[in-house]
Chain A
Amino acid sequence: MDSLRQEKIHKFEEFVDRRLKPDLVRAIAERDKVFDQQKIFSDLRKNIENLEKNSVTNLRTLVNLGSEVYMQAEVPDTQRIFVDVGLGFHVEFTWSEALKFISLREEKLERQIEEYTRLIASIKAQIKLVCEGIRELLQIPEEKTVEGRVF
Chain B
Amino acid sequence: MGKPEVKGTVTSLSSVFPPEEMQKAAKMVEGKLSEKQNEMNQLKEFIADNTSLINLVQKLPDELHHDIMVPFGKAAFFPGRLIHTNEFLVLLGESYYADRTAKQTVEILKRRGKSLMSKVDALKAEMQDLKAEASFFDSTASEVADDLVEIREYEEDNSTERVSQSGPVELESPSVAEADNKVSASEDDEYARLMSRLEELEKEELAAEDEDANANATETETDSDEDELTEAAFHRKKVEGYSSLDHNQRYLVSQPRKQLQQSKGKDPMNEEMSTTYNHQDLTNQLACTGLTAEPVTKGEISRGRIVHQDTKMLNPPVNASVPSEKTSLKQIIHDSSRNEKPVQTPKSEFDSSKAFTGSIIEHTENLEKKLPEQKTTSSQSSDSKPSKPVSRFKMQRK
Contacts and interface: CB of A to CB of B under 8 A. Distances in A.
A59 B80 contact: yes
Interface string B60-94: 10000000111111111111111111011111000
Contacts of B80: 59, 61, 73-76
Contact of A66 (B53, B84, B87): B53
Interface in A46-88: 47, 59, 61-63, 65-78, 80-84
Given A63-B68, A69-B90, A84 B78 contact: no
Given A71-B60, A72-B82, A73-B68, A66 B49 contact: yes
A84 B53 contact: no
B109 interface: yes
A44 B90 CA distance: 26
Contacts of B49: 66-67
B53 A67 contact: yes
Contact of A44 (B60, B68, B73): B73
B105 interface: yes
Q: How large is the interface on A (under 10, 10 to 19, 20 to 34, 35 or more residues)?
A: 20 to 34
A73 B88 contact: no
Interface in A66-113: 66-78, 80-84, 90, 98
Nearest to A37: B75
Given A61-B70, A63-B70, A73-B81, A68 B76 contact: no
B50 interface: yes
Nearest to B73: A44
B243 to A, nearest CB: 53
Contacts of A82: 69, 76-79
Contact of B70 (A40, A65, A68, A73): A73
A81 B80 CA distance: 11
Given A40-B73, A44-B72, A63-B68, A69 B78 contact: no
A72 B52 CA distance: 19
B109 A67 contact: yes
Interface string B17-31: 000000000000000
Interface of B: 49-50, 52-53, 56-57, 60, 68-85, 87-91, 97, 105, 109, 112
Contact of B56 (A40, A66, A81, A98): A66
Contacts of A68: 90-91
Contacts of B72: 44, 47, 81
Given A47-B73, A81-B72, A73 B83 contact: yes
Nearest to A80: B79
B56 A44 contact: no
A44 B72 CA distance: 8
A71 B89 contact: yes
Nearest to A84: B75
Nearest to A67: B53
A78 B260 CA distance: 110
Contacts of A62: 89
Given A67-B50, A72-B89, 18 more contacts: A61-B80, A63-B71, A65-B60, A67-B49, A68-B90, A69-B90, A69-B105, A70-B88, A71-B60, A71-B85, A73-B82, A74-B83, A77-B79, A80-B78, A81-B78, A82-B79, A90-B76, A90-B77
